[in-house]
């Protein structure tokens, strides 16, 4: 994998937001998973998350709402942790969940509340 500025910026952001677990999948990528990890590191975090148009807190809040709508509990838990690192509070997460549930529906919303609670508890932020 060619390490350039976008890669290094993305790796640093993954570490800032998710700690060691956020780069473990990158560091332990094999020949099968390396292309995905490279894509996530460069494109997602190195390019898009690093753009100046929105701060990281706002991006985290948007990501939580989108993941609620997609019913993606593993990613939601992960991004709850990232959001906390980016300054999103428990109260703001609650409001995002309430607002998103209104628009995406009760099944996806209700599941997301449970997963968010578990992530907040695991992060000692509950």
CA 91-73-105 angle, 5° bins: 70
Helix or strand or coil: residue 68?
Answer: helix
Percent share of the chain, pLDDT over 70:
98
Sign of the C-alpha dihedral computed for residues 63, 67, 72 and 76 taken in this order: positive
Torsion of CA 67, 70, 73, 74, to 10 degrees: -70
Report how far residue 96's alpha carbon sits from residue 76's, in angstroms, rounded to the nearest whole number: 12
pTM for the model stands at 0.92
pLDDT in tens, 50-94: 999 999 999 999 999 999 999 999 999 999 999 999 999 999 999
Q: Set out the domains of the chain in order of their start, with CATH numbers.
A: 5-48 (no CATH), 56-122 (1.20.1290.10)
pLDDT at residue 1, rounded to an integer: 58
- The pLDDT-based confidence of 3 (bands split at 50, 70, 90) is confident
């Amino acid at each position: 994998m060619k390490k350039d500025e976008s890669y290094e910026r993305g790796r640093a952001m993954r570490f800032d937001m998710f700690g060691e677990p956020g780069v473990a999948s990158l560091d332990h990528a094999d020949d099968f998973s390396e292309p995905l990890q490279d894509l996530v590191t460069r494109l997602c975090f190195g390019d898009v998350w690093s753009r100046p148009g929105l701060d990281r807190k706002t991006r985290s809040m948007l990501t939580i709402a989108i993941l609620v709508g997609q019913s993606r509990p593993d990613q939601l838990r992960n991004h709850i942790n990232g959001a906390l690192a980016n300054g999103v509070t428990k109260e703001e997460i609650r409001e995002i969940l309430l607002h998103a549930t209104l628009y995406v529906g009760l099944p996806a919303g209700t599941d997301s509340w449970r997963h968010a609670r578990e992530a907040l508890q695991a992060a000692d932020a509950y």
